Structure 1
Amino acid sequence: MTSFSQFLAHFAFIQMATCSVLLAPVWRKNQSAALFSLLLLLGCGYHLSDLFGPLNDMDFLWWVDYLSGNALPGVFWLVSLSIFGDHKVLKPWQYWLASSTLLIPFLTLIVQLVFAFDLRSYPAFYGLTKYGAMALELALICYAMIVAMKNWQDDLVQERRYMRGSIIALAGIYVFGIILIEQLFNVEWAWLRPLEFALLGAMMIWINLLLFTLRQGTLFDEVKSSSQEQSTHQSMSPELKRIVNAMTQEQLYREEGMTISVLAKHLAIHEYKLRKLINGELEYRNFNDFLNYYRIKEVSEKLEDTQQKDIPVLTLALESGFRSLSSFNKAFKATHGMTPTEYRHTHLAKS
């Protein structure tokens, strides 16, 4: 059993390391790929004790194993946000929150070493630190899964959408299950570790096939939104004209809760075909980017209008379909390279 388990552990380790190395060329260009590679490397570090047997307390490999295991949930959360969230660039507070899954147990351990006492002698404090940190890890994983489920439909590239969703779902279930089974319930079963490594190895084979054999780069290619006015010349198909008219004439981008499925029903176009048209013909990779183009265009025109100079930016943002000022500011700055207030002052000064 031990030799079989170690074989599976080595196999899974090699698969994770290989995937991380193959992604190395795009680390600097793509935040999601870099974070996913880090997640895989942490997975390698977490399984060092399974590769080399029981590790001596406080030696180098023990520290790598300890730090990797605690950092995994936070990095998984960052990976999910970078792939499915509306953050083109993750914010510092998100990195700090993710690092808390590592910092809390690490600082607790350092305090014990410095003051030479066993935290288990204080059951209340021990339980608070141990189960509090575990609760935070599980909460971040659950939140990551919620973000993925909420936003994966917005991706207009069907193959990439299914790949991203399935990979995040499998990885999330795997990490969540490990925390519950190994750390919370302390389950001891002879076949547990071999089964864990077999599942991990199978998942990594599949990820490597998806990333580098079937469609290289599909998971981590950059999502670019179109910034040019869409043409309405006669060569456009009737269905494409209806899509554009739904935005320019009916202004459906203003509607609360507008989704790709809602638009498909309104236009009486199959959702699969609608995705293909918006992606292939209008060159949008994300449905929210498609809606935001028209929202930003409307707000920009109103910000340039001297007769509407006294209307608050928030009012304009909400009227155009944005749900919050923060999401509007991010989208507007990504489009124009300045804040809405700066944009208004700049254009009104020219009037």
Structure 2
Amino acid sequence: MIYLDLALRGGAVTILMLLALLLWRAPISLEGRLSVSALALSESAFLITTAALPLDLHPALLSNLTLIASLTPAAITWLIVTIFIDAPGQRWPWLVASLAASIAFYAHEAFPGLFSVCLPMSVVLYGALVILSLWSTRDDLVECRCRARPWFAAAIAGLALFLTAGQATGLLQEDGIILALLQAVGTLVVSLAFAVWLLRPDANRWPGETSPDIDSRLAIHDEFADPALIAGIQSAMTAGIWREEGLTIGALAGKLAVPEHRLRRAINQGLGYRNFSNFINRARIEAACTALTDPAQMNATVLEIAYEVGFASVGPFNRAFRAETGYSPTEYRHTVQSGAFTDSEKSSPIAANLH
């Protein structure tokens, strides 16, 4: 059994290293390549340092491998948020939380008592990642990501959750052969499945540019466009459907009388958006910019304008506004009043990429 464990771990490490190397030739973002490489390195180090058969490694090498292995929670989180969260600003809370879990794991080598703390931290982290992978489906417009989410959540975050929860509850002993075999088999199977998915590179799986103008998006994605549906979407947007508070892709599909998957494809491949909230919020922020620069509405509060363009509260409005323009609504209004913007920037602040 010990040698079977060692063979399985060797196979998993080989696949992980090959996957990381091959992805550097794939047409995906730099962050995508880095996140996969980080997971491959940390998971390989983890497999080596937790083998059922203790390996005779030089103390310095073992120490470095232990440090790299402790970064596995952070690496898993980085990969998942890179694939499933398009907005970089929404990823950092997850990365901070995962780094805290990694630090706790590394610290428990010097302070064994911390093991009872780092396991629950990891259980909570991996459980949250499973929920993120599934819950954010409702806003995702990229078909290949939507299809992959359930098994992705179960395979990567779910496996980590199962193993850490087993240790936390005492069902799996830390130094037991059963835990070692589960780690080896699980990692090998997940690595193979992940390799099959990732080695068919599709740039749509990874975050990319989401703010070209509509004409260029239509030109680039014309081969995928359903002209009648695109026209219906644009007509609904022109009529102001984006002003409806809490508008979902399901609700929009119902109003347009089309299946939800067709609407997702039209907005993603026809209009070039990866996220439904970004699609709706762009129209809302454009309208908010117009209201903030309208002399007739200079006495209107930011909250009133937020309600007017479809936001339920000022917090999400402020975050969405800053993400699109680089300014808070108040800063933007003051900058306009000071005369710092050109006429073109006032009329189309998002297109002007104000930062």
Q: Structure 2 length normalisation: TM-score? A: 0.79
Is 1:346 the counterpart of 2:335? The answer is yes
Amino acid corresponding to residue 5 of structure 1 in structure 2: D
2: CA distance, partners of 1:44 / 1:255: 49
2: CA distance, partners of 1:93 / 1:240: 36
Q: 1:231 to 1:87 in 2, by over 3 A?
A: closer
The equivalent residue for 1:122 is: none
Q: Deviations over 1:246-267 (max 9, x none)?
A: 2221x22232332211211121
Q: 1:86 to 1:159 in 2, by over 3 A?
A: closer
Q: Check the 8 A contact 2:26/2:201 in 1, yes or no.
A: no
Q: Which runs of 5+ in 1 are unaligned?
A: 113-118, 120-125
Offset at residue 50 of structure 1 (A) = 5.2
**Which of 161, 165, 176 is the equivalent residue of 1:176?**
161
Offset at residue 207 of structure 1 (A) = 1.5
The equivalent residue for 1:155 is: 140
Amino acid corresponding to residue 36 of structure 2 in structure 1: F
Q: Check the 8 A contact 2:35/2:75 in 1, yes or no.
A: yes
**Which of 189, 193, 208 is the equivalent residue of 1:222?**
208
Q: Which runs of 5+ in 2 are unaligned?
A: 219-224, 344-355
Alignment RMSD (CA, Å): 3.4
Q: Which deviates further from its counterpart, 285-294 or 72-81?
A: 72-81
Is 1:34 the counterpart of 2:34? The answer is yes
The equivalent residue for 1:3 is: 3
The equivalent residue for 2:198 is: 211
Q: Check the 8 A contact 1:155/1:287 in 2, yes or no.
A: yes
Q: Deviations over 1:136-159 (max 9, x none)?
A: 111111112222222123222212
Q: Deviations over 1:200-248 (max 9, x none)?
A: 2222122212222x3444432525245448999xx98443332222222
Structure 2 counterparts to residues 219-298 of structure 1, below 5 A:
219-222=205-208, 224-228=210-214, 237-249=227-239, 251-298=240-287
Q: 1:63 to 1:320 in 2, by over 3 A?
A: farther
Q: 1:83 to 1:236 in 2, by over 3 A?
A: closer
Q: Check the 8 A contact 2:77/2:94 in 1, yes or no.
A: no
Structure 2 counterparts to residues 190-205 of structure 1, below 5 A:
193-205=180-192
The equivalent residue for 1:116 is: none
1: CA distance, partners of 2:34 / 2:172: 33
2: CA distance, partners of 1:100 / 1:231: 40
Q: 1:57 to 1:238 in 2, by over 3 A?
A: closer
Q: Give the secondary-structure state (helix, strand or coil) at the position aligned to 1:136.
A: helix
Amino acid corresponding to residue 12 of structure 1 in structure 2: A
2: CA distance, partners of 1:223 / 1:169: 29
2: CA distance, partners of 1:229 / 1:266: 25
The equivalent residue for 1:115 is: none
